[in-house]
Structure 1
Amino acid sequence: MSIRKMATFTSLQQFLVGASQRFNASATSNNPVHLVVGNESADLDSFASSILYAFLDTIIKAPDTPKTQPIGQPDKDVTAFFDRISVPSIPLLSIPRNEVTLRPEHAYLTSHLSFTLNDMPTLSDLPSSLHNSHTSITLVDHNVLQPPLAPHFSNSIDSIIDHHVDENMYKKAAPRIINPTGSCASLITNHFRTHYAAHWNNLPESIHSEIARLALAPILMDTANLKAESKVTPIDIVQVTELLERAGKEFDRNAFYDGLQAAKGNITGLSIDGLLRKDYKQWKEKNGVVLGISAITRSLSWVVEKAGGIENFSAELEKYAKDRGLDIAIVMTTDNSKGFRRDLLIWGANDRTKGFAQSFEDSVNEKFRLERWPNEEDGVTASIAIEGMKAWTQASLDLSRKQVAPVLREVAGKL
């Protein structure tokens, strides 16, 4: 009697639970595993992109699997499905488990999907027995692996899909797709929709709906609902158009976007340390300088007031920088409460970098149109008196961290 094989998953929750179980079993027994890793900020784009790539890559790897039958007994079928895949693809959120709650927009997104944040593997779930010789990695939403994974797995990169500036690493990666789009999720859905159309079309309707919502979340957020002309590319437009057709008749794009925005802005309960950690990226330049950028969705004045003044905020930032071994600590803020604005604070944390803020201002002021912070409207009575620290309001509003970070790194690399 023939045994029916599982055709495909009917929910992303089934995939994530099965992938996590197979990962734990493979890692502890030194069997090969494939991780799909987003960037260290673990933002919505990295979160969604890692799941999208891992799921779609798993579907195309599945050997000789019928595409017409649904799952019968989910637990048994999911286990059997992963047992037939020699190297499963596992999404990984590049933060510890205890930092997941710092990102309420992720929880809002999963409320529209079949899984919860607890189903998503994080750095806390990596077993100590995981060895680089048995691990391959796909990078999504960045193209250079960063700490804490970098020291152990930098030689394990075999594929990349990203929308940031190409740092010219891992030239043998395949695929190696690095194109400027509003969202990395656009590149991933475009890649699998284009190159694996048969697999894509054979997915059940429930999965199409989940994939669509999962991918639409970062694309809409990163492009301001396709209204940020400087960020939107034709790929983003095509993907949103196709994904909306699959999201379900009851899906309300504008309400979905507004809900994500509201959730992302719900940061009043976070400590200053939590605000600095919530959306954070770090780099180490070739000259050894370590630079970290925290993005916060409130004005710098709001953050300083929450800290209890500029001195208290500076003390919090100093501790944060010391804990992470930073030479340069940067805070970029955005605020929509009284018209859109961007603020930028830079602190050179030691003798080598204390002149960095001034060097940055001297080299980019014309492009960034920096205006000294605070001004009379900011309501901050004490000015910055910390050596090596400067802050500005950034009049060039279209320059986000994605555009600013390469410039900051270029200046830091010359120190």
Structure 2
Amino acid sequence: MGAERKSLVEFVRYARSCYDTCRQARPRVLDVVIGNTGGDMDSVVSALGYSYLSYLAGGDGAAAVVLPVLSFARADLALRRDVERSLHAVGLRPADLIFADELAADDDAGAAGDQYRVRLVDHNAADNALVQAALAQQRAAVVAVVDHHADAGLYAAAAPRVVRACGSCSSLVLQHFAAAFASRYHARTGLAGHDGGDPQARLRRRELQFLVSALAVDTDCLQHRVEAADRDVYTTLVAPVLDAAAFAAVGTAATAAKLDIAGLSVYDLLRKDYKEYETASGARVGISSVACSLARLQQQQQQGADAVAGAVADWSHRRNLQLCVVMTSFVDKTPAGDVFRREIALAPPGFLPARALSCLKRELGLEAGPTVDADFAKATGLAVFEQHAVGKSRKAVAPLVVGLLQ
């Protein structure tokens, strides 16, 4: 690959070409890195960041080139407007990327004979159907884990195996490859905004903005959900080469794109940022994170509450869910100022046993409140609550719900 290190875009395109070349060989042994099936900005940046930075580091110990796989179908990229915008800003096109659905289709074409060495980022228990099947068939191994969710205690032999609390998983990726990051960005001039017209400096600046975009979005530019790893990465890796105003601009632009849901149906929003879980008894629980209030969700459809109820029912049927959870998050503009709020809707409303629902209410501070429309709840048939424990996102709610159903 030569002594000169490739740019992020050049490397991702090279990885894509490597994947296309090995499509002709059967059986294949593929080194891949993949985020969780929710496929949000953090999963995408963490996967691409792990792949690129491991290349800059000379490999991750098992492979010189780890193929970055986006953990959703190619057609679903358009639902993730923040991801789409950030990829475009750094110079990456959909054609440059490898998506989970084509990896699965190629696996089928190879009569399930391919083998995989898998790196998990932004999750520590494999949730991609192909990876799960390959692990069960003993033709895959998880060789690395970098994640910030509750530790499931799996893949003890993985190296690295980093599972630690932080606002953005991408912080742990950047921290793990800190030396490689610094070698490309800290040793160069012009990144703080004075590039002197140097096209290479501008290129590295765009890469840097992409690599820190998930950190900026997930922590509201270090205002919320910030842990030690996030602060360390910002202080030691980001701040020396990207000033606070530029960092904030990255977060503002990506967040605006994330909140742009114009033209998306309720059904689209339910599947846009979605994760699925299975309890020990086999119950399937799906949790959709939606970046708007239930009231706005209703306004997305001219048919109102009926359309919301229909979309939830259709999605639950398609995914064969016993419990569908919709978690909303939004900023409520009040005379006293902006207030961050969360809501939770459960379908069907009677699935959780009374004791489990009581515990959930206590842990999350669930109650009818100013954001909850009783008529909406009645019309949709959903159990609807305001969540006063606004610091608890799906990352905290999912293990709680699954645990209550064990």
TM-score range, shorter-chain basis?
Answer: 0.7 to 0.9
**Aligned residues of 1:34 and 1:87 also touching (Cα < 8 A):** no
CA distance in 1, matches of 2:362, 2:22: 54
Q: 2:9 pairs with 10, 13, 17, which one? A: 13
Number of residue-to-residue matches in the alignment: 379
CA contact (8 A) 1:299 1:334 kept: yes
- State the match for 2:91 in structure 1: 114
Is the deviation greater in 98-107 or in 194-203?
194-203
CA distance in 2, matches of 1:35, 1:151: 14
Structure 1 CA distance, aligned partners of 2:161 and 2:63?
A: 22
Instruction: Judge conservation of contact 1:34–1:90 (CA < 8 Å) in 2.
Output: yes
Partner of 1:221, secondary structure, is: helix
* C-alpha separation in 2, matches of 1:386 and 1:35: 42
Structure 2: state its 5+ residue gaps. Answer: 189-199, 334-338
Verify: 1:372 aligned to 2:357, yes or no.
Answer: no
Q: Distance in 2 between matches of 1:180 and 1:311?
A: 39
Contact 1:346 1:357 in 2 (8 A): no
**Which SS does the other structure have where 2:298 is aligned?**
helix
Name the counterpart of 2:352: 356
Local SS of the residue matching 1:366? helix
1:169 to 149, 154, 158: 154
Relative to structure 2, which stretch is displaced further, 303-312 or 398-407?
Answer: 303-312
- Alignment of 1:182 onto 2:167: yes
Partner residue, 2:263: 269
Structure 1 residues 135 and 246: CA distance shift in structure 2, 3 A: farther
- For residues 185-224 of structure 1, the aligned pairs below 5 Å read 185-193=170-178, 208-224=204-220
1:152 Cα deviation after fit: 2.4
The 5 Å alignment of 1:296-311 reads 296-307=290-301, 308-311=303-306
**Aligned residue runs from structure 1 range 323-334, under 5 A:** 323-334=318-329
Question: Would you say 1:285 and 2:279 are equivalent positions?
Answer: yes
Query: Could you list the per-position Cα deviations for residues 145-184 of structure 1 after superposition, in whole angstroms to 9, with x for gaps in the alignment?
Result: 1142244233421110001000111111111110001111
What is the one-letter code of the residue matched to 1:347? A
Farther-moved stretch of structure 1 (208-217 vs 298-307):
208-217
Q: What does residue 340 of structure 1 align with?
A: 340
Indicate if the aligned counterparts of 1:51 and 1:91 stay in contact, CA closer than 8 A: yes
TM-score by length of 1: 0.83
Q: Deviations over 1:375-402 (max 9, x none)?
A: 5x65563433677x41101111111111
The aligned amino acid for 1:370 is L
Measured after TM superposition, the shift of residue 318 of structure 1 is 0.9
Alpha-carbon displacement from aligned partner over 1:116-168 (angstroms, at most 9, x marks no partner): 34422112331134556531110000011114224423342111000100011
The separation in 1 between residues aligned to 2:226 and 2:63, in whole angstroms, is: 38
Residue deviations 1:190-230 (CA, integer Å, cap 9, x gap): 111158976887798567534421221111111111111xx
Contact map agreement 2:348 2:383 (CA 8 A) in 1: no
Residues 33 and 44 of structure 1: is their aligned pair in 2 closer, same or farther, counting only changes over 3 Å?
same
State the shift of 1:12 in Å: 1.4
1:241-280 deviations in whole A, cap 9, x for unaligned? 3443465579722222111111111002101111011111
Distance in 1 between the 2:348 and 2:129 partners?
Answer: 23
1:406 corresponding residue in structure 2: 399
Q: Does 1:257 align with 2:254?
A: no
> Match of 2:253, as an amino acid?
G
In 2, the alpha carbon distance for the partners of 1:390 and 1:62 equals 49
- Identical aligned pairs, as a percentage? 24
Q: Is the Cα contact below 8 Å between 1:53 and 1:188 reproduced in 2? A: yes
| 1:79 paired residue number | none
1:73 equivalent in structure 2: none
> What CA deviation, in whole Å up to 9, does each residue of 1:71-127 have, x standing for no partner?
xxxxxxxxxxxxxx9663111111111100001111221243132344221123311
Of 282-291 and 194-203, more deviation after overlay is shown by 194-203
Is 1:139 the counterpart of 2:120? The answer is yes
- Paired with 1:151 and 1:251, the residues of 2 have a C-alpha distance of 42
User: Structure 1 residues 199 and 264 mapped into 2: Cα distance closer, same or farther (>3 Å)?
Assistant: closer
Counterpart amino acid of residue 31 in structure 2: H
Q: Give the residue type in structure 1 aligned to 2:307.
A: N
1:25-74, CA deviations, whole angstroms, 9 ceiling, x for partnerless residues?
224303422110000011000000000101122233469xxxxxxxxxxx
Partner Cα separation in structure 1 for residue 245 and residue 283 of structure 2 = 47
| Aligned pairs for 1:43-62 within 5 A | 43-61=40-58
